[in-house]
């Protein structure tokens, strides 16, 4: 299917690994020129070379100086029509073990960082009359998960801010949507698996199998399950879809909305 994206430009934050990388690949396959961001320069440059016309820009969006440099570097390459926000999930831990320093670090990375990048790139989208903002968050937006106090709170915080933005920019041809991964077989989930295995004195294989059993389709998700929907939401075909938070979770979230 031709998504009508040929020649568009995209920025994928956290786009060199995991679900961000899956989105970058799907967008590139649809004809989009993709700039990927990440903190590991060697890995990022290698990833960008795998994308037709791909570029890499370093930077930690949780650090103000690096975030501002990232924005300037991206704008010097091309003004993005599509911005995919994505950041490593906050560490898994019970509420009582989560101190104020962890809350502050995670807020900078998972809420303030994505919002500031989007805010900086919105004016050019308004001028063009076209923009797509896609926020990779988590299924915990719809169903809270134990020992995930940081993620449960901050993912919902970003969702609220972006939901407000969706209503403010819809008439300008800009859509804002959330993609909510479930238990996806990525490095981020591996950290959760390792934490749970240590906490409950189980093997990682046992934890992984238990997670798979909790999902109606009976398996963990993959990048291929995720990227195609990101590309579709970025396209003109999805111009009437905005302010939505769509689970890609194999039926895991039981919320009716």
CATH code of residue 149: 3.40.50.720
Asked whether residue 1 is domain-assigned, the answer is no
Asked whether residue 228 is domain-assigned, the answer is yes
Asked whether residue 118 is domain-assigned, the answer is yes
Instruction: Give the range of the structural domain holding residue 22, as residue numbers without chain letter.
Output: 9-182+221-244
Please say whether the beta carbons of 253 and 181 come within 8 A. no
pLDDT, position 202: 92
The SS3 assignment for 150 reads helix
Asked whether residue 62 is domain-assigned, the answer is yes
Residue 30: closest CA among 9, 11, 5: 5
Asked whether residue 138 is domain-assigned, the answer is yes
**Over the chain (257 residues), what is each successive 10-residue block's mean pLDDT?**
95 96 98 97 96 96 96 97 91 88 94 97 98 95 87 94 98 98 88 86 92 95 95 98 96 84
Residues 50-77: pLDDT tens digits?
999 999 999 999 999 999 999 999 999 9
Asked whether residue 22 is domain-assigned, the answer is yes
Give me the half-sphere count of Cα atoms (radius 13 Å) on the Cβ side of residue 60: 10
Asked whether residue 239 is domain-assigned, the answer is yes
d(CA 171, CA 116): 21
Total domain count for the chain? Answer: 1
Token pair of 224 as six digits? 């291929």
Residues 161-192: pLDDT tens digits?
999 999 999 999 999 999 999 999 988 888 88
Global pTM reads: 0.93
d(CA 115, CA 158): 8
């Amino acid at each position: 299917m031709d998504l009508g994206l040929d020649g568009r430009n995209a920025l994928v934050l956290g786009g060199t690994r995991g679900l961000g990388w899956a989105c970058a690949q799907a967008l590139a396959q649809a004809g989009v020129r993709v700039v990927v961001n990440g903190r590991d320069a060697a890995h990022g440059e290698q990833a960008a070379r795998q994308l037709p016309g791909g570029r890499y820009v370093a930077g930690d969006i949780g650090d103000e100086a690096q975030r501002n440099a990232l924005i300037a570097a991206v704008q010097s390459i091309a003004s993005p029509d599509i911005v995919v926000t994505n950041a490593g999930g906050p560490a898994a831990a019970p509420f009582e073990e989560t101190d104020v320093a962890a809350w502050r670090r995670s807020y900078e990375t998972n809420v303030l960082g994505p919002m500031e990048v989007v805010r900086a790139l919105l004016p050019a989208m308004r001028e063009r009359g076209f923009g797509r903002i896609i926020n990779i968050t988590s299924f915990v937006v719809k169903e809270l998960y134990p020992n995930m106090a940081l993620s449960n709170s901050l993912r919902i915080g970003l969702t609220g801010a972006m939901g407000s933005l969706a209503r403010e920019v819809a008439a300008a041809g800009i859509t804002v949507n959330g993609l909510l991964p479930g238990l996806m077989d990525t490095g981020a989930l591996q950290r959760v698996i390792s934490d749970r295995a240590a906490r409950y004195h189980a093997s990682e294989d046992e934890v992984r199998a238990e997670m798979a059993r909790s999902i109606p389709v009976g398996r963990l998700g993959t990048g291929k399950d995720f990227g195609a929907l990101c590309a579709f939401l970025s396209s003109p075909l999805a111009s009437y879809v905005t302010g939505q938070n769509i689970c890609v979770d194999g039926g895991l979230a039981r919320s009716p909305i």
